[in-house]
Amino acid sequence: MQVNLPVLAHYSYILVSGKEALIVDPDRDVRFYLDYASRNGLAIKGVYLTHSHADFVAGHLEIAKAAECPIYQSASSGAAYKINPMKEGSSFKIGTALVRVLETPGHTPDGTCGLVFGGEADKAGKVLFTGDTLFVGSVGRPDLLEGRMTAATLASMGFDTWTKKLSKLDDSILVLPAHGAGSLCGANLSDSPKSTIGAERTSNPYFTMKGRSEFIAAVLRDLPEAPQYFKHNAAMNRQGPPLFDWAASLPPEANAEQGLMDTSRFYIVDIRDAPVYAAEHIPASVNIGVRGRFETWVGSMVPWAAQESGRLVLLGGKAELQEALRRLHRIGYAAGVLTLDAWKRSGLPTKKVEFIKPADLYAQMKAGTGPIIVDVRLPNEWMGLRIGDVVNLPLTHLSQLSAKLDPTQPVVAVCNSAYRSSMAIGILEAKGFQKATSLDGGSEAWIGAGLPVYGAEATKAAAVPEPARREIRLADRMSVDELRRTAKDLPGTFELVDIRPAEQFNDYHIPGSRNVDIAEVLNNAAFLAGAGPLILVDRDGSLAMQVAGIISQKTKRTIKALHGGLDAYWKDGGWSETETWKSIPAPMAPARTVPPKAEPPKSPKKKSAGC
């Protein structure tokens, strides 16, 4: 059984043979595995860790304690807890099934795969648990060891792992990886939950490389920036994460005192929605809304030392705080809690920010009285479409890069939907900016108001004082409900293209979509042909509408943009469990519920993962 934890794009497994079970690469919330075994009368006979995970805290110790079972792990893992050490050829039995361990370095030096044999008569093997060694359409990134071993050295090991070991296995063997699309443990992961050795042999782009050097170069290209918490989770997993009480209630509120505003000592994360934060918040608190990709942003933005020393405080309503704490424990973060009411009762200051309306900002820009506009998106997003003469300071580096700006001057932060730009307000406030705000509704609202934009083809030249701006006609919009109905009633009759940067597509995307660069969509005549509609998707619908508008002027083909983009898709809950897309995989949406969802592997439509 494959257990999918979508918020971390993590697959774990329950291998059942007879009345015995093996848990493979479990996440920290172990209740599901224990409850499943109890409901089905299974005895958990072991936990198998394919390697030392970096992107989440594993639940191996908790399962081992609850089930009184051994932990099977590489002898070279450096584990500080008791394990049954595995080497090349080591094996153990679960019921009548035999698990034989293969040493497969590449992602990490201690990487292993578990080849499962159905019984004594099975000579080739049936299933391969590949961990982060081999993904569907990709391989594990080799750059997470930070000086202990070079990325090129590990990538070279990965080349040997495939050419000398995994490629020798039977084509029919089922490949079950530890991650799918949405994971930052590799690049260009497919959203298919399973594959076979034969399929990877022919379709995995990394295995088409002619030699070692070409393979190494390909593996090192296009890797998304790894959140800073990865190295700490890896160390935590090797040491043995402390046991956690998932049934615990909220801790007592932190003392509301002036010292919490000292950003050199404390980090306050306001988990409420952006408009609520803007109306009133603690000065210099950073707004990371719990309804966004909360874990990823906290793990990227909040220094590990802040939570480690008890200096991370979450502010929100009690229900929001309960959810946020549970979700953060999956990446090893702990935090204190505080409500705004308690803060105000102590007579401490709050701050209000007025988001600026698109029309007002545009009027100021035309009059020459506009503020400094900081686009906090990734460079690829900024180059793709922007609202004017703006400076690009990506959010993950804004704290350092803000030194380029004058904190006495007004600053407006911009992103697609105001989620990231709202986060930027607190970061700038912590750096002494007193007049920092956000564009209300982001660039989507700007475009919706009919205001001019720059595209990649109209990048400002330094010698031109006032580049020409042009209006782009908006194409038809398709709602999430309409897309759902079309997928259900007319599967396979439309083309779904995601135009976000590759690193964002890798983070998460709608199943069945493919990632194409904006320039490719605009300039490749192939997109002008086709009998069915072309549906474009981006984060919030803004870029997609503009690109769709341009294309629609060149073709009679039906061109649409998903209204609200991925934001609307996830807010609408994705597709319900009772709905099935023919030939399209199940969604890998960021989950809002605490327990992971178990689902049997489906057989989705094969797509080229690319590199």
For 73-76, the CB contacts below 8 A with 24+ separation are: 73/48, 73/49, 73/110, 73/112, 74/49, 74/101, 74/103, 74/110, 74/111, 74/112, 76/109, 76/110
pLDDT at position 600 is 42
Tell me which residue has tokens 């083809």: 457
pLDDT at position 267 is 96
Tell me which residue has tokens 């942003």: 297
> Under CATH, what is the fold of the domain 2-239?
Metallo-beta-lactamase; Chain A (3.60.15)
Task: Report residue 523's pLDDT band, with 50, 70 and 90 as the boundaries.
Answer: confident
Domain 358-458 CATH assignment equals 3.30.465.10: no
Task: Tell me how far the alpha carbon of residue 199 is from its chain's centroid.
Answer: 25
% of the chain residues with pLDDT over 90: 65
Residue 610 φ then ψ, to 5°:
70, 170
pTM of the model: 0.70
Q: Is residue 474 predicted with pLDDT exceeding 80?
A: no
Q: Are 225 and 169 in contact (CB under 8 A)?
A: no
Q: What pLDDT, in 10s, does the model give residues 239-270?
A: 999 988 888 889 999 999 999 999 999 999 99
What CATH architecture does domain 476-574 belong to?
3-Layer(aba) Sandwich (3.40)
Residue of 70, 114, 69, 119 lying closest to 97 (CA atoms): 119
**Residues 132-149, mean pLDDT to the nearest whole number:** 91
Q: Is residue 29 predicted with pLDDT exceeding 70?
A: yes
Amino acid at position 494, single letter: F
> Residue ranges of the domains in the chain?
2-239, 258-345, 358-458, 476-574
% of the chain residues with pLDDT over 70: 89
**Residues 144-150, mean pLDDT to the nearest whole number:** 81
Task: Report residue 466's pLDDT band, with 50, 70 and 90 as the boundaries.
Answer: very low
Question: Which segments of 240-378 does DSSP mark as H helices, in order?
Answer: 274-279, 294-301, 304-308, 318-329, 340-345, 358-367
The class of domain 258-345 in CATH terms is alpha beta
Q: What pLDDT, in 10s, does the model give residues 359-403?
A: 999 999 999 999 999 999 988 788 888 898 899 999 999 999 999
**Same topology for domains 2-239 and 358-458, yes or no?**
no
Q: What pLDDT, in 10s, does the model give residues 478-518?
A: 888 888 877 776 777 788 999 998 877 777 788 888 899 88
User: For residue 183, is it left (φ>0), alpha (ψ between -120 and 50) or beta?
Assistant: beta
